[in-house]
Structure 1
Amino acid sequence: MAKRLLLILTLFILGDVYFFQAFSTVFDTPLLHRLYWWIDLFLVMGIFSLIFLRRIGHDIQQMAGFLMTSFLVVFIPKLLAFPLLFAEDAVRIFRGFPARNIFLSEFVLFLAVFIVLVIIFGLTSGRHFYKVREEVLTFPDLPDAFNGFKITQISDIHSGSLSDTKGVSKGIQLINAQKSDLVLFTGDLVNNKASEMDPWISHFNTLDAPSGKFSVLGNHDYGDYVQWDSAERKAANLDRLKEIHGEMGFRLLLNESIDIQKDDKRISLVGVENWGKGGFHQYGDLNKATSKVPDDSFKILMSHDPSHWDQVTLEHDKHVHLTLAGHTHGMQFGLEIFGFKWSPIQYFYKQWAGLYKKDGKYLYVNRGFGYHGLKGRIGVWPEITVITLKKS
């Protein structure tokens, strides 16, 4: 991971240096040049301060959101402009390094302005620019009664970040419009505290599914990222959050399973607590959750962090047909167009958005309903997943 971070840092520095060359070619004004570098210094110092404060346990969510937003607005246009200016240098090197072409520099600045406008859209309208993503998955051992069974998955509501009632209602209406048999929520109801969900309970309890609504906990739901006066206060917060799932009409699965019945057939729905790699707590216990599940049962697992699939579920004794996860948010930033998919989060998670298959087992990683840290979404839009099960 250290090598990847160093690579990303190197790219940002190169992009910064190259972009300044284009900027100074178009604007030959020392005052603007000094302003350029003062903004850079502010952001670099802010990011280092953020890292330091996080290490000593300060609550820095507001600062983190501001710095992340500023970082994207300032650095991403530079990074994307870098290949054009680097290509120009490949030509200039054979010509004795003449002055940069002013028309190319102007185009780079125009491109930067366009990218900034896209970012502004993401930070305003993008947070509720919901996309319904549909998948049809076939299984030879799916019980006949569940042929055509529809599941809607949502994840990562992060209610502590929500503020637009109209925008959230739009998403909830879109979920109900899918008319799925089952609604599943795969964790991170809040950022830190159960009270963040209080204004939204009456909205989310309007979700409807004839076969039920079920949920699991995510890493943010345990209150691990905020300082508490006592262990009792922290435990009471988690108890309250569990109650809220019930008030929303969701059955919270805590390392346990439940049968979903249709006609005289059934499938097993399994839910584990959060299990993550790289320093995240590993409360999840798949052995316990599947202890009462027959080996030949068709199994759907809800597990918040997709790393659990790769490191535990795939090699588990019991065959889990379909795992539903979230957690990554697709980093709320990236590019998805014409089948191409990229986000910086892919350098940290092998499975980070969409559908994956290995050894006859499926994983679907939902991009998240809400947002956290970055106050919006850019290119990786909030998602409502609809999965239809088919018998092959």
Structure 2
Amino acid sequence: MKKRVLYTILLWLFADVYFFTAVKTLTANPVWHWAYWSADILILVGVVLTIFGRKKGSHAPRALSWVMSLLLLSAVPKILGTPVLLVEDLVRLFQGFPPRSIWVSELAVVVAFVPFLALLFGLTKGRHHYTIHKETLYFPDLPEAFDGFTLTQLSDIHAGSFTDAKGVNKGIDLVNAQQSDVILFTGDLVNNKATEMDPWISTFARLQAPQGKYSVLGNHDYGDYTKWETEAAKATNLVDLKGVHKKIGFRLLLDEAIEIERDGQSITLIGVENWGKGGFHKYGDLDKSILKVDDSQVKILLSHDPSHWEAKTLNHLKHIHLTLAGHTHGAQFGIELFNFKWSPIKYVYKQWAGLYKQKDRYLYVNRGFGFLGLKGRVGIWPEITVIMLKKG
């Protein structure tokens, strides 16, 4: 992570210096020049102190959220405005480098101002700008009773980041408005500790689904990213968190499978504990969870980390029709317009948001209901997924 942050800082500093030439062209007032560099120096110091000066084992301190927000507000508009100045400099190169044009500098500032406004919206309003994503999936072996069956997927609630009860309740109301048959939650209920859910238990208990609510654990739910006085305290926290799932009405699946029945027919729901590539813990045991499941059953797997799909699920001997995951948050930053989507997280996770298909098996990666680190969302909005199963 630190290496990626360092590359981002270097790119920002290059754009910073370059963009300043437009500022200097538009105003000779030293007060504006002083304000420009003072703000950036303060942000840079904040980045160094919160990221590179962070103690090993600490995770996403509140200060980091503010620093990340300020870094984005400063860096992204300048990086996007800089190409305007680069094009002008290519022309100036063949003209003997005359003074920079005022109108080109104004254009660069306008180009930078548009993403600045988008960032400002995302960082102040984006965290509760919930978006419904709908998919219809067809399976030839789907039981007739489940033709038209709907499920709503939530992921990455991160209750410890919430401060706005009105905003959270807006999301809960949207979930209930979908009137899905089941609600499925794919992990990361909290940031670190079970107590983070205390103010929100009655809120999430309002979620309603006639055929049940089911959940799995995510990497943050195990308390691995905070310091505990004893291992016993950490273990107690996990027990308490499992109890929270029950309090809000969710059946927590721990490397196990259950059948959902309808009109005498059934499909199988499978839930594994967190399993992630790289340095993430591999608690989950897919083989154990699916051992007693008949291969003729239509199977839906809840697995928090999408890397589990290609590593274990996709080539499993038993056909898992649909895997639901989360974890990536879509980096909470990116662009989604029409059929185009981009986020820096795509360079870390091959499957990072939306629907994927290989062979005859599907993966859906939810963009997350909550937020972590970055105190907001820019372009990648919090998601409520609705999937309809159809026979065909």
| Alignment TM-score, normalising by the size of structure 1 | 0.95
SS of residue paired to 1:151: strand
Q: Which residue of 1 aligns with 2:206?
A: 206
SS of residue paired to 1:278: coil
* CA deviations over 1:335-383 (Å, ceiling 9, x no partner): 1112211111111111111111111111111111111111111111111
Q: Which residue of 1 aligns with 2:237?
A: 237
**Would you say the 8 A contact 1:172–1:207 is kept in 2?**
yes
For the residues of structure 2 that align with 1:209 and 1:265, how far apart are their CA atoms? Answer: 19
Q: Which residue of 1 aligns with 2:98?
A: 98
Deviation at 1:52, TM superposition (A): 3.1
For the residues of structure 2 that align with 1:278 and 1:41, how far apart are their CA atoms? Answer: 34
* CA deviations over 1:184-206 (Å, ceiling 9, x no partner): 00111111110110111111111
Q: Which residue of 2 aligns with 1:301?
A: 301
Q: Which residue of 2 aligns with 1:355?
A: 355
Deviation at 1:3, TM superposition (A): 8.6
**Would you say the 8 A contact 1:214–1:251 is kept in 2?**
yes
SS of residue paired to 1:138: strand
**Would you say the 8 A contact 2:218–2:304 is kept in 1?**
yes
**Would you say the 8 A contact 2:154–2:184 is kept in 1?**
yes
**Would you say the 8 A contact 1:50–1:60 is kept in 2?**
no
Deviation at 1:289, TM superposition (A): 1.1
**Would you say the 8 A contact 2:367–2:382 is kept in 1?**
yes
| Superposed counterparts of 1:63-78, under 5 Å | 63-78=63-78
**Would you say the 8 A contact 1:54–1:60 is kept in 2?**
no
Deviation at 1:107, TM superposition (A): 2.1
| Superposed counterparts of 1:154-303, under 5 Å | 154-303=154-303
Q: Which residue of 1 aligns with 2:18?
A: 18
- Which of 110-119 and 308-317 deviates more? 110-119
**Would you say the 8 A contact 2:186–2:218 is kept in 1?**
yes
* CA deviations over 1:210-248 (Å, ceiling 9, x no partner): 111000111111111110111111111110000000010
Deviation at 1:64, TM superposition (A): 1.1
**Would you say the 8 A contact 1:14–1:82 is kept in 2?**
no
SS of residue paired to 2:207: coil
**Would you say the 8 A contact 2:58–2:225 is kept in 1?**
no
**Would you say the 8 A contact 1:189–1:217 is kept in 2?**
yes
Q: Which residue of 1 aligns with 2:149?
A: 149
Structure 2 CA distance for partners of 1:140 and 1:2, relative to 1, 3 Å: farther
For the residues of structure 1 that align with 2:243 and 2:174, how far apart are their CA atoms? Answer: 25
Aligned amino acid, residue 36 of structure 2: Y
Structure 1: where are the runs of 5+ without partners?
Answer: none
Aligned amino acid, residue 213 of structure 1: K
SS of residue paired to 2:244: helix
For the residues of structure 2 that align with 1:366 and 1:93, how far apart are their CA atoms? Answer: 48
Structure 2: where are the runs of 5+ without partners?
Answer: none
Structure 2 CA distance for partners of 1:169 and 1:280, relative to 1, 3 Å: same
SS of residue paired to 2:237: helix
Q: Which residue of 1 aligns with 2:379?
A: 379
Aligned amino acid, residue 156 of structure 1: D
For the residues of structure 2 that align with 1:205 and 1:344, how far apart are their CA atoms? Answer: 34
Q: Which residue of 1 aligns with 2:42?
A: 42
Residue identity (%):
58
Deviation at 1:105, TM superposition (A): 1.1
For the residues of structure 1 that align with 2:13 and 2:278, how far apart are their CA atoms? Answer: 26
For the residues of structure 2 that align with 1:4 and 1:18, how far apart are their CA atoms? Answer: 21
Deviation at 1:121, TM superposition (A): 1.5
Deviation at 1:5, TM superposition (A): 6.5
Deviation at 1:164, TM superposition (A): 1.2
For the residues of structure 2 that align with 1:197 and 1:27, how far apart are their CA atoms? Answer: 51
**Would you say the 8 A contact 1:4–1:347 is kept in 2?**
no
**Would you say the 8 A contact 1:122–1:378 is kept in 2?**
yes
For the residues of structure 2 that align with 1:54 and 1:270, how far apart are their CA atoms? Answer: 38
Structure 2 CA distance for partners of 1:60 and 1:180, relative to 1, 3 Å: closer
Q: CA RMSD in A?
A: 1.8
For the residues of structure 1 that align with 2:338 and 2:177, how far apart are their CA atoms? Answer: 26
Aligned amino acid, residue 294 of structure 1: D
Deviation at 1:279, TM superposition (A): 1.0
SS of residue paired to 1:95: coil
- Which of 292-301 and 250-259 deviates more? 292-301
SS of residue paired to 2:94: helix
Q: Which residue of 1 aligns with 2:122?
A: 122
For the residues of structure 1 that align with 2:173 and 2:190, how far apart are their CA atoms? Answer: 20
Structure 2 CA distance for partners of 1:371 and 1:58, relative to 1, 3 Å: closer
For the residues of structure 2 that align with 1:158 and 1:4, how far apart are their CA atoms? Answer: 24
- Which of 152-161 and 307-316 deviates more? 307-316
* CA deviations over 1:145-177 (Å, ceiling 9, x no partner): 111110100111111111111111111111011
For the residues of structure 2 that align with 1:324 and 1:148, how far apart are their CA atoms? Answer: 18
Aligned amino acid, residue 282 of structure 2: Q
| Alignment TM-score, normalising by the size of structure 2 | 0.95
